[in-house]
A and B are shown apart, each in its own frame.
Chain A
Amino acid sequence: MKNEENLAYFLNEAKTIKTRNLGKKLRVAFLANSTINGFEETMRVKCFQKGIDCITYVADYNQYNQEILNQDSRLYQFKPDITFLILDTRHVLGDHFFSWHKVSHDEKSKFVERSINEIKKLCNTFEENLETKLVITSLQIPSYSSYGINESREIRGLKEIVHEINNELLDEFGRHNVSPKIFIYDFNEFIMKFGEKNIFNYKQFFSGDIKISTEYVPKFVNELMGYIYAITGTTKKCIVLDLDNTLWGGIIGEDGFDNIKLGDNPIGRSFVEFQKRLLGLNQRGIILAINSKNNFDDAIEVIQKHPNMILSEDNFASVKINWDDKVLNLQKISEELNIGLDSIVFFDDDPINQEYVKDSLPDVLVVDLPKDSSRYAQIITEMKEFDVLKITEEDTKRGDMYLDQKKRNELENKVGDFNEFLKQMNIEVTVQKANSFSIPRIAQLTLKTNQFNLTTRRYQEEEVSKFSSSDDKIVECVEVSDKFGNNGITGTYIIEKKSDEEWVVDTFLLSCRIMGRGVEEIMMNQIIENAKLSGIKRIKGEFIPTAKNKPAENFYEELGFNKENNFWVFNTDNIIKKPEHIKVIKNG
């Protein structure tokens, strides 16, 4: 194991890091009924490495009930953005863990019901009183039952009732009745991945009630990092791939179409498996792109015609197969797809390319891909950087949307004149009030949109939901379609009704895919029209600069807003410029 993955490393690093007052901030609370030393240290270091300033609170041992149920507790005072409640099966079961066979049938039912209700009560109290996320770990299924081989013949054996408790929690807070605040982390996934014999170390358990051994603490915290990336919007959006020895074995330019390894031999299978994992991610919203030094015709022939190729040309939103510099290609991909370099993950088998990209583009996450291709699939399944809080319809359709985008770019190149191109696009914008269907997407947009974002205020789903039902706020979103397809919900604004005369733009953003086609002007037109109808005299907005929102810098000025101190102000008696090429549909 590399030293950077050891708990000792994290414990020591945690002492040296200082908050930098830049980038994203996050307050994380830990509640548990076992020793969790090392958890918060590891998380702070991991966050620090990703540019997140993480402040933690660890509740006293086994105080989680009081911390949640008592609203004066230190947990409430701490005001966490996210809370991890790490529940331990032994603790929940008490002596039943050892002697379940002695419990009568009636008692079993009562015990199960009581356990579920206790956990539900905690979750419900949390949901009612805190506007933030709670991640609760499901209970570990015991690997041993004193029933022995008869465990599976018992009605309500030991393992079965733990399953029952877990299922009941999933029914209550996951599945069909999804709570935006409560997440259940499948603790058994962690146990399956690394094994109970490794994770549970009897010596450490007897010595210090340690239930996740020190060696596995960093691995467990890594599992939790998926929530951190999702809640802070530091999720990666795009995977850029090399081809030779990355998507297939061998070098197409030397080995030729018939001799590259892809498919039915041990090496070939490892690449097929890797491609299948990539396809799975692509289908739920991760964009794929190619960055390879090759003759275009040789390489594209494999992608188009090789019988064992899993990914097809249509899975790639951008294809750079040329002899250009790899860093240059990455920059072009980032521009073409309108996504920041810090949203990109780069897979390349060549350590020299890995180092080169790491040095030149530190924002890109470069995967340390080893020489051995049998490890590729495992490496990608262990990455937590692709997690989002909720997979929206836009996510599952993103692949198609980028394909449409490719066609748009082709039309733009063909037509030449940009205004003529816009006319030919037949853009339609549907404006609608936030509803239960669009709220998760609106929250996702506030979390993920960096470039055309006037204020970059990040909101969680429950906050957007609260705004939308408030009389003092307007939350609307736009769905954009054109002759090439539907882009889905790609823009949103939140207006604060400050007084009878003045509205303030709290949030105004547009996905970078859509930027620059007049949709942003249409959105501001909507706000001003609504304001006029409500007798509002002034619209006030501010531009809060970040490292990334330069594209939106001159927006207010271009639309005729006047600068007054730190704000931009529009008098609704004035006429605002309105793009003529867009058809606007109002919906609800």
Chain B
Amino acid sequence: MDEKLYQIISRVFNVDASKINDETTPVNLEEWDSFNFYVLLDELENEFNIQFNLDETLEIKKIGDFKKIFEKHKIGNKQ
């Protein structure tokens, strides 16, 4: 799952997967801009078949934050 996440991010931002980790932010990764972030959100929704809430998307400051949302959504699925 982490691997798939990195893979998609690497494809959308067009950067080598090795440059991406949980601490990656728009500041330390210049390929991450405000517009392709929307593209990324959309692709992740499709690939993982989930719907982010708007407030969740606003809280994403680094790649690691995606994982938190995924965890939350999984818990949501179990209930």
Contacts and interface: CB of A to CB of B under 8 A. Distances in A.
Contact of A214 (B39, B52, B54): B39
B12 A8 contact: yes
A206 interface: yes
A15 interface: yes
Contacts of A214: 38-39, 42
B42 A11 contact: no
Contacts of A215: 42, 46
Interface string B37-55: 0111111001000001010
Given A12-B14, A203-B57, A207-B57, A213 B42 contact: yes
Q: Is the interface of B mostly helix, strand, loop or mixed?
A: helix
B68 to A, nearest CB: 18
Contacts of B12: 8
A419 interface: no
A571 interface: no
Q: How large is the interface on A (under 10, 10 to 19, 20 to 34, 35 or more residues)?
A: 20 to 34
A7 B39 contact: yes
Nearest to B15: A12
Contacts of A1: 46
A128 B49 CA distance: 51
B21 to A, nearest CB: 20
A206 B38 CA distance: 11
A329 to B, nearest CB: 40
Interface in A399-432: none
A49 interface: no
A12 B10 CA distance: 11
B61 interface: no
Contact of B35 (A6, A12, A37, A201): A37
A213 B57 CA distance: 16
Contacts of A7: 39
A94 interface: no
B28 interface: no
B32 to A, nearest CB: 12
B11 interface: yes
Interface of B: 11-12, 14, 34-36, 38-43, 46, 52, 54, 57-58
In the A-B complex, list the 3 residue pairs whose CB atoms are closest, starting with the nearest. Answer: A12-B14, A8-B12, A37-B35
